[in-house]
Structure 1
């Protein structure tokens, strides 16, 4: 396998055996980034000199550990691993432009806590990845950064809003990446790019105001294997003094493969009425069959949801949070509003008419009840991630109802305290990957990783070197 398509866990093992240097691996991903960027356009800025210094420092720490001259100091969990950060996550003194012309040249005053944890764990942070403007769309294009394309088929989007992160992972331009998810923004790119992503339950990973208090929203890890995502998730999670919502309990997760004997899986293909493409359904059923082959009990079930109920429940929430956030940026100025992307304006307008916040809270509680009742008898729910097989790279995304009717991710932001692991399920006829979600009961992070690791081994798709797109 090419160095640039190693998993982070494989690279870490090679580092420890002194078979690979962090500097050598960084050179490989930098070379790959230079080769693929003209096609995918997924990187907003690179920090090559700083990354080389970090890789050299990691190399010295590995050498000292091997020689026994490090005084027993432990190596970081991400020691020497190349990683890209989603551009939305701020770093003090660095650009923070949110894909928007109105923010051009803006710099951050604070560093996101997950960035601090990644750096402390020894990762080699070498670039930042594109997003749609203010992370408002399930595609990744903006007036500021242009169009980000899918490495599998450049006519299609890698998804959004963590589309740049999904694209660089699939293309081999880095080994780990961060994302964030308020309506599917980690899981949609994971599906379209054939990678693994995790939406932690609310509060598991600390965030920054105001969205740290938004139960729909979570920062999380993306990678090329379940073990990689578990590795990064264990670094990200835990309480932070700047976030009162961050959980004190640290739920460590693992990518280790074990038996699924006794595990109960609920298979729900349509979530109450989504129009699922036949290729997506076939690949989801293949994933269900793989879990059954791994020892799980799989039963097909139904939920009384459907896209219209999801939207009716979610719009009051967006109208109370994201809508006012965008309005505050525009400040009632028509010229400022004209500089926004059409999808941002359309989203804000739709959110403004979403309904009352109190009524929305009542609807969210009613929405959760049937899921909780169902999951009293199951360990995880298996369903598609996206009902369709892709969106055009330049899809306008101004018809929110039409777009959200394809995204089977939003229900699990509405009930945001559930963990969701997104994995590939196969390839659609257009060459774009499809994906599935493993949804756990509230705060049962370990269950989705246990089932995900078994699914990854049984399907044996993205664990094969031939899986990755050729650019």
Structure 2
């Protein structure tokens, strides 16, 4: 079996082969490391690497399988961990020069769970500075590029995670999502990303207390995404927001014949690129072929929805970063500094105004989701922006109209506002520039299984997105 076949093998298939001893975790890790070295320059998805330690752990996993010993749910799999959460004794940079020498003295709960399940952290995946951009570049690590077309961004802020999956340098990866940071890069890199309902997965303080913020899994298949989600989820004594009891999702689902699916192309206020529209409509036809009824609906949302979402982020997240300006402003990227400066200007009244908009949004979305099984819309309104795009200085145009350069080209932030709704992003096709596009499958509050059931059904028709050479990047 070639290195590429190993590197793009689904996680669930690798686990099956480990158990039958048709494949060793050592073979998979060796192939992954070789691929990571080859992709360092063209993609630049990884920050800190722990290859020697990963090989040691792969050998231990190999020994467990050889003895028929009990193995964890992720035993022997290479898992890319976003360079944001912590692992004791290991560096964590948050993509910032300010934190380049930081070594963690604790392990984030989700990382502890992944390692306890046998997942092997071979590398950390890149992020924009402080995860505050929809593209991934920083002064510390440089530009992370889209494996399908390096001229374009891989998305952000979990851009390194998606680029690593897309380029075959991780089998599974973790992300976090405060304005679309899992779903944007998942869409742009042609992988699967899941924003769970708020409280489903643990996070670190203080942002575990921010209901816009979610940690979640990323993978190349829906089934693999469930596999990682089941490890990450569950109550934690270190996170007061986490839900009891733990939800364990099944790996197999019934068909969706007879389902009613709502769809909105623009969520009431987004400009959407024609190629994104075309791929979204084709995806909706797949759902129809599965026996579902698909109906276009009016959410009643206005363009001020995005403005309110960004105001919220500037008040909470921008306010958090503003504390760094006086001492460390000269070390910050232009976009992080601009975000911090906007946060410093935000007032409590602005924050309360965002909550009023959020309340109004659910007054229309809630009743719609009672009538339909799921809602579908595009993940991003544009296939991608340039790899080195700067949201603090650049402009974005869709359909001849300028949109907000921060997140006006993505359609994810409204569902951080609707934070208790589970959202799964799956690939919908590719644009003429080679960059993938995606759709969001939005479920009723805390109905996680519904979005995975729809995603699994869709994937069953589309086939494995990385199953052969023609369906993978040509790097």
Q: Which moved more, 1:425-434 or 1:339-348?
A: 339-348
- Residue aligning to 1:359: 353
Note the residue ranges of structure 1 that are not aligned, 5 or more in a row. none
Q: Does 1:129 align with 2:125?
A: yes
Q: After superposition, give the CA deviation of every residue in 1:106-129 in whole Å (9 maximum; x if it has no partner).
A: 122221100000000011210001
- Residue aligning to 1:231: 227
- Residue aligning to 1:120: 116
Q: After superposition, give the CA deviation of every residue in 1:40-89 in whole Å (9 maximum; x if it has no partner).
A: 11111111111111111111111111xxxx3xxx3210011111100001
Q: Does 1:318 align with 2:313?
A: yes
- Residue aligning to 1:346: 338
CA contact (8 A) 1:234 1:253 kept: yes
Q: For the residues of structure 2 that align with 1:248 and 1:207, how far apart are their CA atoms?
A: 15
Report matched runs for 1:73-152 at 5 Å.
74-152=70-148
Pick the aligned partner of 1:309 from 298, 304, 311: 304
Report matched runs for 1:153-164 at 5 Å.
153-164=149-160
Q: For the residues of structure 1 that align with 2:331 and 2:33, how far apart are their CA atoms?
A: 33
- Residue aligning to 1:279: 275
Q: Which moved more, 1:397-406 or 1:426-435?
A: 397-406
Q: For the residues of structure 1 that align with 2:13 and 2:346, how far apart are their CA atoms?
A: 47
Pick the aligned partner of 1:401 from 400, 404, 419: 404
Length-normalised TM-score, structure 2: 0.94
Q: Secondary structure at the match of 1:40?
A: coil
Report matched runs for 1:67-466 at 5 Å.
70=69, 74-306=70-302, 308-330=303-325, 332-333=326-327, 336-355=328-347, 356=349, 357-398=351-392, 401-460=404-463, 462=465, 464-465=467-468, 466=470
Q: For the residues of structure 2 that align with 1:408 and 1:451, how far apart are their CA atoms?
A: 19
Q: For the residues of structure 2 that align with 1:262 and 1:461, how far apart are their CA atoms?
A: 24
Q: After superposition, give the CA deviation of every residue in 1:176-234 in whole Å (9 maximum; x if it has no partner).
A: 00000000000001000000010011000011100001100011100010000000000
Note the residue ranges of structure 2 that are not aligned, 5 or more in a row. 394-402
CA contact (8 A) 2:85 2:108 kept: yes
Length-normalised TM-score, structure 1: 0.95
RMSD: 1.5
Q: Would the alpha carbon gap of residues 148 and 47 (structure 1) be closer, same or farther in structure 2, given more than 3 Å must change?
A: same
CA contact (8 A) 1:315 1:354 kept: no
Q: Secondary structure at the match of 2:153?
A: coil
Q: For the residues of structure 1 that align with 2:168 and 2:206, how far apart are their CA atoms?
A: 33
CA contact (8 A) 2:322 2:344 kept: no
Q: How many residues align?
A: 460
- Residue aligning to 1:48: 51
How far residue 463 of structure 1 moved from its aligned partner, in angstroms, is 5.1
Q: Does 1:468 align with 2:462?
A: no
Q: For the residues of structure 2 that align with 1:105 and 1:421, how far apart are their CA atoms?
A: 35
Q: For the residues of structure 1 that align with 2:19 and 2:290, how far apart are their CA atoms?
A: 31
